[in-house]
Amino acid sequence: MGACGNPAGTSTSGDGGPATASSAGVVVAPTCPPGLSADPLGACVASAPSAPLPDVTPGATATASASAAASASARPAPGCPDVTEPDRVAAFEWVKSLGVDAPLGVHLRGTSGTAVELRLLANQIETQLRTACAAMASELGSKGPFVSSQTACQAAIDGLHTTRSKLGPATKIAVHVHPPLCAESAEAARECGKRCSGEDAAPEATCPGQTVGKCPGACDGACEMRPPSTCDGTCLGQCESAFTGTCAGSCKGKCDGKTMAQPGECKGKCEGSCDSVAKGECKGRCFGGCQLHASACNGICAGKCSVKVEDPRCIGTIKLAAAAPECAAYCDMQSIHRMACGPAQVDARASGAKDSAAAAAYVSAVEKHLPAILTLSQQLKGHTESIGRSKGIVADGLKAIHESGSPALPGLAACLSSYDKATSESTASLAASARSAAQVATTAEGK
């Protein structure tokens, strides 16, 4: 969501919807809430206080005009959108609605947008992390309640420790992971920068990290397979059939040339299928990563593409050229919030355990629920500093807004306060979530 305004010539109703037009093409004024009235553009604004009409006497025209101007300047500004109204913040026309100048409009768009995206991101991570940790904790015997992600993740950590204590000191925990690939959309970031700045052209975007995307030509290197597809190279995830190589998960078929009675661990050469974290030739369908050698990639090419990639995405933080600090922070937080991540793959093993039931419960909880936790951790990885900086950028933006001396300031106090509060709360929440996710992952891996 960008902080863009309505197209020129489009009026809005008091609830953000467009004013309607009659069959004759005449704009029909919207129905406005009490205390608001429709202005000539069809927007609901605060009603001007009623005042007695000036005496119209010879020579009184100038006095009447001055009185009318004073009355207009005293009119309260239309209410600005609260941080709890993300759609309204995105669509609000600060310059047009409040009569502020363009530079102040950029401060307002960038500051409000940053606060909103931080709040949306924090809520997203909090909800998904609490769900994943609560599921792991419940499977390991915790009854809850799980009122927050920190509570749920601590319960999961306690459950992992308790279950592992039943396994015995000779138990060896091995957790193999194929990490998720998370990437930001370069085009979406450019469009966000354009809307925030109010310029006609989108700013240039650069990726300081690795650029990935759909490769219509030949991909040489890593290819992230989503959904499962043929891998004409080395499968690095899960291979459904016709696999030959090393398998950190369960091998089904032959191990070092010997037929396996049932799927299980194979420390040598696996032939058949591998359910997780494979590395070898896969003539069947591969899910996860595939190391290609100048071949077609049916997923996301993270190697070198023989032609220009389509829908380019960045592993890292996209940089927008000549963007105001507030706009850069806004688009950065939006990119993280909307980041596309593939699923992580996890294979867990507990060998030498004296309690086989506890070992099975431990492995099951880790394999089922750690992937979601790792994906959320990967979404925030490398962005904790920029998330922390956004708090200072919003503070600087609010300072610039307050120092502008704009006549609209008295009507902005409530929503500006909501941006400040949401930014502080969201950055603290995200920092806590990142710590909780990392602690669960570290504990699950037996470290």
Radius of gyration of the chain (CA): 29
| H or E stretch at 37 | strand 36-38
Q: What is the pLDDT of residues 163-210, one digit of tens each?
A: 999 999 999 898 888 888 899 999 999 999 999 999 999 999 999 889
Cα→Cα distances 205→136, 185, 321, 331, 441, Å: 40, 10, 6, 11, 33
Look up residue 334 and give its two tokens.
């939006």
pLDDT value at position 12?
Answer: 36
Length of the chain: 447
Residues 314 and 211: beta-carbon distance below 8 Å: yes
Burial 167-183, CB ≥16 within 10 A → b, else e? beeebebebbbbbbbbb
pLDDT value at position 265?
Answer: 85
pLDDT value at position 278?
Answer: 79
pLDDT value at position 226?
Answer: 66
Q: How far apart are CA 162 and CA 90, in angstroms?
A: 47
pLDDT value at position 78?
Answer: 55
The secondary structure of 320-377 as a DSSP string is: ETT--HHHHHHHHHHHHHT-EEPPPEEEEEEES-S-HHHHHHHHHHHHHHHHHHHHHH
Q: How far apart are CA 444 and CA 164, in angstroms?
A: 10
- Give residue for tokens 């009675």: 261
Q: How far apart are CA 155 and CA 369, in angstroms?
A: 13
Low-confidence ranges of the chain (pLDDT < 70): 1-78, 226
Residues 361 and 177: beta-carbon distance below 8 Å: no
Q: State pTM to two decimals.
A: 0.75
Cα→Cα distances 177→227, 359, 373, Å: 18, 19, 12
pLDDT value at position 146?
Answer: 96
> Residue 66, Cβ neighbours under 10 Å: how many?
11
357 CB-contact burial (10 Å; exposed 0-12 / middle 13-18 / buried 19+): exposed
